[in-house]
Chains A and B, each alone.
Chain A
């Protein structure tokens, strides 16, 4: 199986944009497939709840 990065070099770049909208807008203008995420801080920015969420996050896939 091709290593991940080498595989990427053969694919169309398709982007999920998390954060500054300007990046999604630029890509849209260039015709690059992109979806912008209306992101907001987890748990409304509450650090205690964010810590709980981190403790309960799914473990990495093996």
Chain B
């Protein structure tokens, strides 16, 4: 197949994906995921190479599952391999920041109606001392247990009662309301809450439980982030393995490595060291406190939102230090230089309804030197400190250069 045809097919498959929210179940139930395995965000990672924030989260999760009662035992289990580490992406899942998924954790289930595949993501824990920022104490474990015991089942029941929730339409709407679905999800979170509200209200479940879940959702502006990520995963996964396509289907970080995967190169990861995001810090924090770039949330950019839709989100433009509206427009135009096309469903009103740039082309990244721009929260590097700011990070060009070599090698030595 010609590269052009392959890329057209890959892009079509990506932008015509129809992600819908269908359920919330335990990871074990939804993903067929058993045994003593913990999934983490980003490309494959070993304990030794993991950053302190990631390690703290893994220890806490081990205790949450009850495989150990203290960190020393937890550490032994991980080091010995009795508790295995796995990659979210390999099991059809994504996770924000440390992105830990263990079998009993509840996960949202997003189905791509166009291709039939499913993607999974945990429920966003909220702000502050949470597992995704590497917090490791009883309050974290307690909350995780509540999510398993109460929030997961309630949300699952409400979602099932709704039939399904069209996420593409929801995100297109939120985009027009100033969200970009990475740093800013408040409109999307409200739209989701409104949709779920009618079903939550009618659940036969214990009204106190429902009230606690309602309070939990209402307190979290970023509630929708995880679901946006799963929508991204569900949309990109069918594009893996389109031969000859140079389109990027995955961008993910684990706090140590930044990894990409390319449609025409199947499951292979191309990695390089992550950078530290640049941006604004909350009072009392500075660049020296920042954790290296971490999380699967770059899947949002991979589907043409987040940093690629910055022109739709003036609030984020200022917050991430992008220098205002002009700069946000420029950033979006810069991303268009490295993309295969424009999204037919995600449109930016201020750019005369132009579709967001989507379908990152490895070749164009190497040709222009323009690397994908990711809007991201900045985590504290001390485990458990939480989010200390917001900014932008770039995907390292080395990932794309390696992928380019692999693509050329596949075409064979006779070409060029």
When distances are taken between beta carbons in the complex, the residues of chain A under 8 Å from B3 are: 56-59
* A42 touching B405, Cβ below 8 Å: no
* B416 touching A59, Cβ below 8 Å: no
Q: With A43-B369, A44-B369, A51-B416 in contact, do A56 and B407 touch (Cβ < 8 Å)?
A: yes
* B367 touching A54, Cβ below 8 Å: no
Interface membership of chain A positions 22-45, coded 1 if the CB is closer than 8 angstroms to chain B and 0 otherwise? 000000000000000000101110
Query: CB < 8 Å: which of B366, B408, B416 contacts A43?
Result: B366
* B408 touching A52, Cβ below 8 Å: yes
Which A-B residue pairs are the 3 nearest by beta carbons?
A: A55-B416, A58-B4, A52-B408
Query: Contact residue range for chain B?
Result: 10 to 19
* A40 touching B411, Cβ below 8 Å: no
Closest residue of B by beta carbon distance from A42: B367
Q: Is B289 an interface residue (CB 8 A)?
A: no
Q: How far is the CA of A44 from the CA of B401 in the complex (A)?
A: 12
When distances are taken between beta carbons in the complex, the residues of chain B under 8 Å from A42 are: 366-368
Interface membership of chain B positions 353-372, coded 1 if the CB is closer than 8 angstroms to chain A and 0 otherwise? 00000000001001111000
Q: How far is the CA of A51 from the CA of B405 in the complex (A)?
A: 10
When distances are taken between beta carbons in the complex, the residues of chain A under 8 Å from B408 are: 52, 55-56
Task: Give B residues with C-beta under 8 Å from A.
Answer: 2-4, 246, 363, 366-369, 401, 404-405, 407-408, 411, 415-416
* A53 touching B369, Cβ below 8 Å: no
* B363 touching A55, Cβ below 8 Å: no
Q: With A40-B369, A43-B366, A51-B416 in contact, do A56 and B411 touch (Cβ < 8 Å)?
A: yes
Please name 15 further chain A to chain B contacts, defined as beta carbons within 8 Å, in addition to the given A42-B368, A56-B404, sorted by A numbering. A43-B367, A44-B369, A49-B401, A49-B404, A52-B404, A52-B407, A52-B408, A52-B416, A53-B367, A54-B416, A55-B411, A56-B408, A56-B415, A58-B4, A59-B4
Task: Output the least CB separation between B323 and chain A (Å).
Answer: 18
Closest residue of A by beta carbon distance from B414: A55
When distances are taken between beta carbons in the complex, the residues of chain A under 8 Å from B246 are: 56
Q: With A42-B367, A52-B408 in contact, do A58 and B401 touch (Cβ < 8 Å)?
A: no
* A53 touching B404, Cβ below 8 Å: yes
Q: With A40-B369, A43-B369, A44-B369 in contact, do A53 and B363 touch (Cβ < 8 Å)?
A: yes
Query: CB < 8 Å: which of B2, B368, B405 contacts A52?
Result: B405
Task: Output the least CB separation between A44 and chain B (Å).
Answer: 6
* B415 touching A55, Cβ below 8 Å: yes
When distances are taken between beta carbons in the complex, the residues of chain A under 8 Å from B415 are: 55-56
* A59 touching B363, Cβ below 8 Å: no
Closest residue of A by beta carbon distance from B7: A58
When distances are taken between beta carbons in the complex, the residues of chain B under 8 Å from A44 are: 369
* A59 touching B2, Cβ below 8 Å: yes
When distances are taken between beta carbons in the complex, the residues of chain B under 8 Å from A54 are: 416
Task: Output the least CB separation between A51 and chain B (Å).
Answer: 6
* A56 touching B369, Cβ below 8 Å: no
* B416 touching A58, Cβ below 8 Å: no
When distances are taken between beta carbons in the complex, the residues of chain A under 8 Å from B405 are: 52
Task: Output the least CB separation between A50 and chain B (Å).
Answer: 8
When distances are taken between beta carbons in the complex, the residues of chain B under 8 Å from A56 are: 3, 246, 363, 404, 407-408, 411, 415
Q: How far is the CA of A62 from the CA of B317 in the complex (A)?
A: 42
When distances are taken between beta carbons in the complex, the residues of chain B under 8 Å from A52 are: 366, 404-405, 407-408, 416
